[in-house]
Amino acid sequence: MDLRHADLFDISPISILCEDWSGVKRAVDEVIAGGVTDFDRFLDGNPQFFFDVRRFHRILDANRSALDLLGFEDKETFLRESRVRLPANPASNVQVFRAMVRGDAVCQGERVLHTRDGRTVPILWRASLPPGPAGPEAYGRLYFFAVDVTELKRVQGALMEAQANLSHAGRLSLVGELAASLTHEVSQPLASIAGHAAAATRWLAREIPNLDEVATSLNRITAGTQHAVRVVAKMRSFARRGELSATPMKPHDCIADAVTLVEHEAHRQKTRIAIDVPAHLPPVIGDRTQIQQVIVNIAYNAIQAMQAARSPERRIAIAAAADGADAVTFTVTDSGPGIPDEVLPRIFDPFFSTKQEGMGLGLSICKTIVEEHGGRLWAANGRDGAPGGASLSFSLPVAGSLPVAGPVQPATL
């Protein structure tokens, strides 16, 4: 079959819009000629630019598939209503502006369309641009290709939901395993509160009540209560199935948060935990609870390994260090038996465990969490090449450096 360009445009199953961006390119060129060197900064300071240049932009043509996507019967109505139906979308426009300024041959992005018949359709779009430096006329007929990603988003959503449920189940199981020591963390201050309350009553019951002693007891009661409340609050927020969020966090805070949950178990197993984080590390980005979960899981594995091996000296060092400008690496090293060579390649496999009661899910959940954050999790033995216990490391992107993948991705559409 001999197909001409025009036929291909019309019968293509991919939605295509032909658009005139020559006037916009002229406006962008004028801004650059006016001495602007950092166009992104210019856009940040001049948000009205998106709307000012809108009047220079025109949609020239749309193929059948694009009309169907947008809910239009005929092309004429669409071309008449296109401005209303496809309002300026700064997130998408900025991609085109950047490509124009840099002379990129392609640009792409995501956006949501609100169709004439009331549907909301997420799309992926891509356009070819004149490569290299080109005058405004070269932007007179740009072709934009769009793919409906509704189904992809639905599957991604279901996957994210399943992964969030799995990591929540992992946290509940960790809380279950740590329950004995965490209960002690609460019952100990409660016992001391009861003791101080009894003492205060005795001081009051004396013929001449000793109010100073009563005040001391009451202060101790307050401190004990606050400690118990803090432990319960930490445990509750760790066990909760909250909304995932991408928050900038100081590496030291991530570690300290996690240590509060394992320190009592560590103490019970005669294990010392040392934290080593240099000052001025940049904040990392991620879901606070999930990152805490990764560190708790790894540290708890270390406590268990040293206990099982009856290691004479039990130490855990949790460190964070910059990995270039865009990432921070967290490393948890223990002084236990290490991971046998034949076991090492399998520890991240789901359901792999060398423990009698082990589920074998902890590290595989940690790996999923870290990778969804755009990072990496790996294991080795010894520290800096020296023989020694296990050393598990993971990297996380620095806030503002990388687009974060997976469930913690901020809404881009």
Q: List interacting residues with ligand ADP (CB under 6 A).
A: 301-302, 305, 334, 336, 339, 343, 347, 352-355, 358-364, 390
Q: How far lies 381's CA from each of 50, 254, 341, 390, in Å?
A: 54, 24, 9, 5
CB of 240 to ligand ADP, least distance (A): 22
Please state, in angstroms and rounded to a whole number, the distance separating the CA atoms of residues 57 and 54.
5
- Select 190 or 343, whichever has its Cβ closest to ligand ADP: 343
CB of 5 to ligand ADP, least distance (A): 57
- Select 305 or 327, whichever has its Cβ closest to ligand ADP: 305
- Select 193 or 291, whichever has its Cβ closest to ligand ADP: 291
Residue at shortest CB range from ligand ADP: 362
Q: In angstroms, how far is the first alpha carbon of the chain from the final one? A: 39
- Select 96 or 302, whichever has its Cβ closest to ligand ADP: 302
User: Could you tell me where the DSSP H helices lie in 312-375?
Assistant: 362-372
Phi, psi (degrees; rounded to nearest 5) at 21: -110, 15
Stated as kind and residue range, the H or E segment containing 288 is helix 288-308
CB of 352 to ligand ADP, least distance (A): 6
Please state, in angstroms and rounded to a whole number, the distance separating the CA atoms of residues 304 and 311.
10
CB of 339 to ligand ADP, least distance (A): 4
- Select 254 or 361, whichever has its Cβ closest to ligand ADP: 361
What residue type is assigned to position 163 of the chain? Q
Q: How far lies 78's CA from each of 86, 114, 263, in Å?
A: 10, 13, 64
Q: What is the number of helices (H) and of strands (E) in the chain?
A: 12, 12
- Select 31 or 359, whichever has its Cβ closest to ligand ADP: 359
CB of 279 to ligand ADP, least distance (A): 28
CB of 361 to ligand ADP, least distance (A): 6
Q: How far lies 306's CA from each of 217, 362, 389, in Å?
A: 39, 17, 9
